[in-house]
């Protein structure tokens, strides 16, 4: 199957490979939560991104790799419903940013901070802290042979950033997106959001001024 970036809730997942990077995308339950498996093509070591729901489905998605941990993009309820099933039944530690500690159902097994690099087989997965949607929102960046791959949770979608609840957070998330993402990464960077279809930074870049003006 050709990778399109579109998956249906509880439907088949899609796989793509870019050199050493293997990426799997699936959607779970009625909130269309995207869950990702980022793995090293050579060693099979992997990270599960977001313990959203349906732990039995997540177990299937990592059955052919060697998951090291589940890493959270943030702590909102729809992204953490499978926490106990992944942590207790699969035995996977769950890692996340301490800024979302009050949102997480249990303490994380490891605190992640912006600037850290997670070694996953041959891969180096960079942790980017970009608050605004939540205080502890994290993005994960890994680079393949053809392009960078950026998993954005609910911080960046096609058409804008995720929901914020104040003007301050809107400006904070916009400042972070411009400084840490758009000013740094090329247009071909593929964006994997927490819900819905994928996009690229090139497709979104022309609209940054519109997003800043409209607020959220």
pLDDT tens, N- to C-terminus, the chain (216 residues): 799 999 999 999 999 999 999 999 999 999 999 999 999 999 999 999 999 999 999 999 999 999 999 999 999 999 999 999 999 999 999 999 999 999 999 999 999 999 999 999 999 999 999 999 999 999 999 999 999 999 999 999 999 999 999 999 999 999 999 999 999 999 999 999 999 999 999 999 999 999 999 987
Give residue 1's pLDDT. Answer: 74
**In terms of residues, how long is the chain?**
216
pLDDT score at 216: 72
- CA gap 53, 16 in Å, rounded: 22
Tokens matching residue 188: 């071909």
β-bridge mates for residue 123, sequence order: 120
Domain 14-214 in CATH: superfamily?
A: Ribonuclease Z/Hydroxyacylglutathione hydrolase-like (3.60.15.10)
CB contact at 8 A, 192 and 153: no
7-25 b/e (C-beta count within 10 Å ≥ 16 → b): bebeeebbebebebbbbbb
Pairing of strands 190-193, 199-200: antiparallel
Q: How far is it, in rounded angstroms, from Cα 160 to Cα 154?
A: 10
Q: Residues 110, 93: contact at Cβ < 8 Å?
A: yes
* pLDDT computed for residue 215 by the predictor: 84
- The Cα angle at residue 36 between residues 33 and 9, in degrees rounded to 5: 35
Per the structure block, which two tokens stand in for 177? Answer: 């997106």
* Rounded Cα gap, residues 89 and 69, in angstroms: 13
Give the integer Cα–Cα distance in Å for 193 and 109: 24
pLDDT the model gives residue 177: 98
**Can you give the pLDDT at residue 106?**
97
Q: Are 36 and 150 in contact (CB under 8 A)?
A: no
CB 41 within 8 A of CB 65: no
């Amino acid at each position: 199957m050709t990778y399109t970036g579109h998956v249906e809730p509880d439907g088949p997942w899609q796989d793509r490979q870019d050199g050493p990077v293997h990426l799997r995308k699936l959607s779970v339950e009625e909130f269309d939560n995207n869950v990702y498996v980022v793995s090293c093509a050579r060693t099979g070591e992997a990270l599960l991104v977001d313990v959203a729901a349906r732990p039995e489905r997540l177990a299937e998605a990592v059955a052919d790799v060697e998951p090291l941990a589940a890493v959270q993009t943030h702590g909102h309820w729809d992204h953490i419903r499978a926490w106990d099933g992944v942590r207790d039944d699969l035995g996977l530690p769950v890692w996340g940013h301490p800024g979302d500690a009050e949102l997480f159902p249990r303490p994380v097994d490891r605190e992640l901070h912006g600037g850290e690099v997670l070694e996953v087989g041959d891969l180096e997965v960079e942790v980017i802290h970009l608050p605004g949607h939540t205080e502890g929102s994290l993005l994960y960046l890994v680079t393949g042979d053809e392009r960078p791959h950026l998993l954005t949770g609910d911080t960046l979608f096609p058409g804008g950033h995720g929901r914020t609840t104040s003007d301050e957070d809107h400006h904070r998330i916009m400042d972070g997106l411009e400084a840490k993402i758009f000013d740094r990464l090329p247009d071909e960077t593929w964006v994997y959001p927490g819900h819905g279809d994928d996009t690229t930074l090139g497709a979104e870049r022309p609209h940054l001024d519109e997003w800043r003006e409209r607020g959220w």
